Amino acid sequence: MFGDRRTTFPGGVQHMETYLMDRDPQRTARPGPQRPNIIVILTDDLGYGDLSCFGGPNLRTPHIDRIAAEGVRLTRFYANSPVCSPSRASLMTGRYPDLVGVPGVIRTLAENSWGYFSPDAVTLPDLLKRAGYHTALVGKWHLGLEPENHPCLRGFDYFHGFLGDMMDDYWTHRRHRQNYMRRNDQVIDPEGHATDLFTDWAEAYVRQQTAENCPFFLYLAYNAPHLPIQPPEEWLARVREREPGVSEKRARYIALIEHLDAGVGRLLEALDEIGAAGDTLVIFTSDNGGLLSAGAWNGPLRGEKQDMYEGGIRVPACVRWPDRIPAGTESDALAMIMDILPTCCEAAGVSVEHWIEGSSFLPVLMGQARDMPDRVLHWVRREGTGTGIRTYLGQEYYAVRRKDAKLLHNGPFQSLELYDLAEDEREIRDLAGSAPHLFRELGRLMQRQVQRAGAVPWQKG
């Protein structure tokens, strides 16, 4: 069951040029029955409570709220890690991130980089391309700077965005004074706020692709509301005027989110204008919980980004597919970012013939199932930086959940904690000392996952 079933591609890795937007017309023919377009929108560090449809205070996100109102709001949706790269690896592969070589954040500086995206891991765009989809990534990649891990060699026909981890400035788009903005394999230096650029490029892509005779998959990965919190001044002024009692820190964070929401709105409006909304599956979520020091609000949940507590890993999510999903519904099904791959594949009629840990939640979205099948869930992070209580020294830390029981250590050198989330969602009452049998059972499951991951390299070479 736990074997690594891998798929190889005839002819091996193709040259970059074959992945660009100019394609053989025969490849664009829509195969078989009509398949939906698919858009996955991923935000960066968006707190569980930082949408108005999730109870966020003082902010307004009408366009993301529209996705929830016209589809399903998922109240128990999880990232695969409390930090960026691992969750993105899970989204791309449908697997636990440490089983595809990404237990921690991949950074631009090798001495502080904690993952290497396995070159033979099969990606969601790989699978959709085989079914005739045109595949595009607009926005943040954050899964490696190596030539073999360029998005256009990991299944994407088209890439317009940022290769690196975070931007040091939303306006200049640099990281460590280096420019990682690309259009396919070409270095570009565009002007404008990163959120606006990514929205512009995504809207242009959608409008172009609907004129083609094939379905498209768009992965739109915003870097907002990740640090630095740099909303356009006019958006900040609007929040200050409307919410005079809010702190400056929170106002800036709200403005960055509302600016992002407007971008999502532009994309939804484009789908309406070109008549593609009904047959487009739109999934919206975040790669991990919000950072409280940046102004985020994770609702009633304990913890934040970097934590294995709920505030670090539970994220807002909503899905819309007007032709197939009932509007105005809500689900507390327990799902994760790694479940996006099999969900998209099922919607597209694409079979996944290699082993993955993710499971499709399409039956939940369509009202055919109330919950996901019972399974054990894992979270991981490896890290090197940190001081004080956040000390890592290159070590991993984990969480494991079976039904409502969750065992975690919130850092590699911190004690294990045990919680019953059905009775204690805020993770206040540690049961590690009072439920030894359950503690041991979950501990064995955690250890088993550590052993599985130990077989997968997370550094190149």
Asked about 142 being catalytic, the answer comes back as yes
Q: Which amino acid is at 302?
A: R
Asked about 84 being catalytic, the answer comes back as yes
SS3 letters for the chain? CCCCCCCCCCCCCCCHHHHCCCCCHHHHCCCCCCCCEEEEEEECCCCCCCCHHHCCCCCCCHHHHHHHHCCEEEEEEECCCCCHHHHHHHHHHCCCHHHHCCCECCCCCHHHCCCCCCCCCCCHHHHHHHCCCEEEEEEECCCCCCHHHCHHHCCCCEEEEECCCCCCCCCCCEECCEECEEECCEECCCCCCHHHHHHHHHHHHHHHHCCCCCCEEEEEECCCCCCCCCCCHHHHHHHHHHCCCCCHHHHHHHHHHHHHHHHHHHHHHHHHHCCCCCCEEEEEEECCCCCHHHCCCCCCCCCCCCCCCHHHHEEEEEEECCCCCCCCEEECCCEEHHHHHHHHHHHHCCCCCCCCCCCCCHHHHCCCCCCCCCCEEEEEEECCCCCCCCCCCCCEEEEEEECCEEEECCCCCCCCEEEECCCCCCCCCCCCCCCHHHHHHHHHHHHHHHHHHCCCCCCCC
Catalytic residue among 15, 53, 63, 84: 84
Q: Which amino acid is at 241?
A: E
Instruction: Classify each residue of 257-289 as buried b or exposed e, where b means 16 or more C-beta atoms within 10 Å of its C-beta.
Output: bbbbbbbbbebbebbeeeebbebbbbbbbbbbb
Cβ-contact 318, 286 below 8 angstroms: no
**C-alpha to C-alpha distance for 421 and 399, rounded to whole angstroms:** 13
Catalytic residue among 63, 134, 142, 173: 142
Give catalytic residues, as residue numbers: 84, 142
